[in-house]
Amino acid sequence: MLISLPTSAQNAIEIGDEITYEFSNSWSYSAKGDSTDNGDRIFQPTKQQQLIYPYVPLYKSTPDSVYSSFTLTALNSSTYGRVFRLHINQPCCTLNRYGIPLDSILQIIMEHDVILAYSSLLDQYIICNMHDFYPSLDKILQHGIPNEFLLQTDDYKLSQPSLNMVSINVLKYAINAFCPGLKLAIMAQSIPWQDKVTITGKPLDGSSRTMSYCNTTDKVSDENFYRDIKSEEYVSDYMFNYVNGNSEEEIDSVEVDSISDDSIDYEAVCDTAIAEVVDDDTDSVVIDTAEIDNDCDSLTEDFHPLYNKIKIHITPDGFVAEYNITSTIKFGTALWERRIRLRRKNN
């Protein structure tokens, strides 16, 4: 079901605006006497979890708490895209399995801010000032690039990449590793501002493991935009991977697919509605007539309810004030929870 009200254009950002963000990513497990023990495993979504699939790399983070801080400065804004200067105030402490010398690359990034030019859809970007990084990166990368990393890049799959192209991919990988909250800040800016309520499916009742429910409420109030999403679905045990917090090989806060900007499904974030949006100036209601297949497999003990809550607040200047993602999975009386937070500091 879709309820659509008159739309409101998103506020344009002002050149020179400077916003500082704090990002945190943590997870916890409370057994509460339940015999099921999943405290040493983390939930990793798949494409089946459409709502949180765009955030999959963030669910790969295994330390109990991850923190970083960064500043975005608007340099240009037009119908063709937006340009920002990125300054990393406090990098996320991360380990990676590809052997990239992140410590050395971090020193380079801390010496030079990164200029990022985004497309009109804000789904891709290029690094405008690579000339500031090429000399130092070339010296580091001349010692060799791990094949595990090269084989994951799209350019290597197409042809043998040049050293400059490898440098670009390595720098993007490092940005994602040190500043995972950047994508949330940019993704929020791509959401269209309008009053809209979208409801698909129905709340879980245990009748089928393929059941799902999603309620998305978009609201424009006093030149602020608010999005509130609540969803329910079942997830199976195979979506939990064991992790050893003391093992460097097991800790990987940046998934390899985050090297490519195309790894984030921005369309899923910008418009969670499955039904067609009605562009009338009057209130309208569209009923989703899709029927649930009664022959779906029944719920078994290896499936558990997943509850997601996403709250987004964007201020009149067009920048996100808060972006909160909470996923909770119930194992009987036990709870597994992931908490992802992007918060704007008082500038």
Q: Answer yes or no: is pLDDT of 258 > 60.
A: no
Q: Give the pLDDT confidence of 170-180 residue by residue, as tens digits.
A: 899 889 889 99
Q: Give the pLDDT confidence of 321-342 residue by residue, as tens digits.
A: 999 999 999 887 788 899 999 9
In the prediction, which pLDDT does 292 show?
A: 45
Closest CA relative to residue 291, chosen from 196, 197, 202, 199: 202
Q: In the predicted model, what is the mean pLDDT of residues 182-198?
A: 95
Residue found by looking up tokens 């497990």 in the block: 29
Q: In the predicted model, what is the mean pLDDT of residues 110-118?
A: 95
Q: pLDDT band for 10, please (50, 70, 90 cuts).
A: low
Q: Answer yes or no: is pLDDT of 3 > 70.
A: no
Q: Give the pLDDT confidence of 28-43 residue by residue, as tens digits.
A: 888 765 555 566 678 8
Q: Answer yes or no: is pLDDT of 155 > 60.
A: no
- Of 64 and 175, the structure prediction assigns the larger pLDDT to 175
Domain coordinates of the chain in residue numbers?
A: 2-344
CA atoms within 13 A on the CB side of 44: 16
Q: Answer yes or no: is pLDDT of 6 > 70.
A: no
Q: pLDDT band for 138, please (50, 70, 90 cuts).
A: confident
